Amino acid sequence: MKKVDIKEVARKAGVSIATVSRAFNDSSRVKAPTKEKIQKISKELNYIPNPIARSLSKKSSETIGVVLPDLFGEFFMDIIHGIDEEAYKHNWFVILSSSHSKRNILETLVEFMGSGRVDGVILMAPQIDERINEIIKKSKRPVVLINAGDSVDINCGANFKINNFEGAYNITEHLIKTHNYKKIGFVSGPKDNYDALERAKGYYKAMHKNGLTVDESLVVPGNFLLESGYAGLKKLLNNKIVPDAVVMANDMMAVGAYQAAKELGYKIPDDIAVVGFDDIYLSQFLAPRLTTVHVPIQDLGRKAVLQLLEITMNKKKNHKPYIETLPTNLIIGGSCGCGR
């Protein structure tokens, strides 16, 4: 397959390369018959403008860089899915990069930002630190954040979050108001994780608003992994004050809690109610089905792309970052005691 470039097409069509280029870009300024001839010949020759050359020339690549903290689990799959779908719809490309360490995120960001390789990046960083913030600030390319803390709002193009607070508040209140539990435990997420902190706040707030005091022995640390949920529930069940219900800061830990309950011979929800957060795929297959909080993850990805494209198109600089917090909704299963 001989390489075919714009010159070749121009020659065969008897026009200049400028005209060929225009036929492919700002079509309005090329006479219809000329354009048709160029299109016909391009098809025959199987010509596609070289996107690299075009990028170099236009200084834009129609490519989004996506930087994720990790690449595993359905949470990230859903984000990627949403991003890919929306990007494809608009004919943009997606360059992916995960990271297994902070350093890596930084490197990737620098590489992305400094080059013409991407026109903007979507960054998901539940624990953003100052160095990342610096890079975002210096960058000429827009950055759209997903699930980042408040500290970075100033520098980014947009920040999409999930209303973790509201979700945790609602599910806790459900346990209180609908089921009349009083001793409600909480297994938290990582201390430095923004989502986790918001969820904890929601739990506390719901307790206080409803006149319940939180005995600190009922709050145990977790890290979003299954094992810590397992350990967390065991600890609570051996506590001097044994809770009648437990809010797990995410579903994976709830899965661990199910295992712990089973091992210790506690029935869910009769002996102990358990609820989670995230509505992962697995949660519907637990017996009883887990009561949890659904988060619109794919939407997060889709919205991030749309916002990024808009910023890129408008090229307004220094506009205020757009901030949107997506609502969650309660998924009622049997693990809270409903349908008993």
Does position 156 bind a second copy by CB under 8 A? no
Q: What does the longest C-alpha to C-alpha distance in the chain come to?
A: 89
Total residues at interface with a second copy (CB under 8 A): 45
**Smallest distance from DNA to CB 116, Å:** 7
- Burial state string for 215-227 with b = 16 or more CB within 10 A and e = fewer than 16: eeebbbbbbbebe
1-40: contacts with a second copy (CB under 8 A): 1
Does position 96 bind a second copy by CB under 8 A? yes
**Smallest distance from a second copy to CB 122, Å:** 13
Q: Write the interaction track for DNA spanning residues 16-45; mark x where CB under 7 A is met and - where it is not.
A: xxxxxxx-xxx-xxxx--xx----------
Q: Write the interaction track for a second copy spanning residues 229-268; mark x where CB under 8 A is met and - where it is not.
A: --------------------------x-------------
Scanning the structure block, which residue is given the tokens 């065991």? 234
What is the length of the chain? Answer: 340
Spatial neighbors of 335 by CB under 8 A, at least 6 apart, are: 254, 268, 269, 273, 274, 275, 286, 288, 289, 290, 291
**Which listed residue (9, 80, 136, 171) binds a second copy by CB under 8 A?**
80
Does position 95 bind a second copy by CB under 8 A? yes
**Smallest distance from a second copy to CB 137, Å:** 9
**Which listed residue (28, 46, 213, 238) binds a second copy by CB under 8 A?**
46
φ and ψ at residue 77, rounded to 5 degrees = -60, -45
**Smallest distance from a second copy to CB 121, Å:** 13
**CA torsion angle for 191, 194, 199, 202 (degrees, to 10)?**
110
225 phi-psi bin (left φ>0, alpha ψ -120 to 50, beta other): beta
Task: Choose the stretch contacting DNA; rule: CB under 7 A; options: 46-54, 165-173, 175-183, 282-290.
Answer: 46-54
Does position 133 bind a second copy by CB under 8 A? no
Nearer to a second copy, 21 or 97 (CB): 97
φ and ψ at residue 266, rounded to 5 degrees = -95, 135
Closest CA to 45 of 22, 77, 20: 20
16 binds, among a second copy, DNA, none (CB under 5 to 8 A by kind): DNA
Element housing 65 (H / E): strand 63-67
Cis peptide bond prior to 269, omega within 30° of 0: yes
**Smallest distance from a second copy to CB 36, Å:** 21
Nearer to a second copy, 110 or 338 (CB): 110
The SS3 call for residue 168 is helix
Nearer to a second copy, 99 or 163 (CB): 99
The SS3 call for residue 162 is strand
Q: H helices of 139-250, where?
A: 164-177, 194-209, 226-237
Does position 139 bind DNA by CB under 7 A? no
To the nearest 10 degrees (0 to 180), the angle between helices 32-45 and 17-24 is 90
Positions in the binding site for DNA (CB under 7 A): 3, 5-7, 14-22, 24-26, 28-31, 34-35, 47, 49-50, 53-54, 56-59, 116
Positions in the binding site for a second copy (CB under 8 A): 1, 46, 48, 50-53, 55-56, 61, 63, 71-74, 76-78, 80-81, 84-85, 88, 93-98, 104, 110-111, 114-117, 138-140, 255, 281-282, 285-287
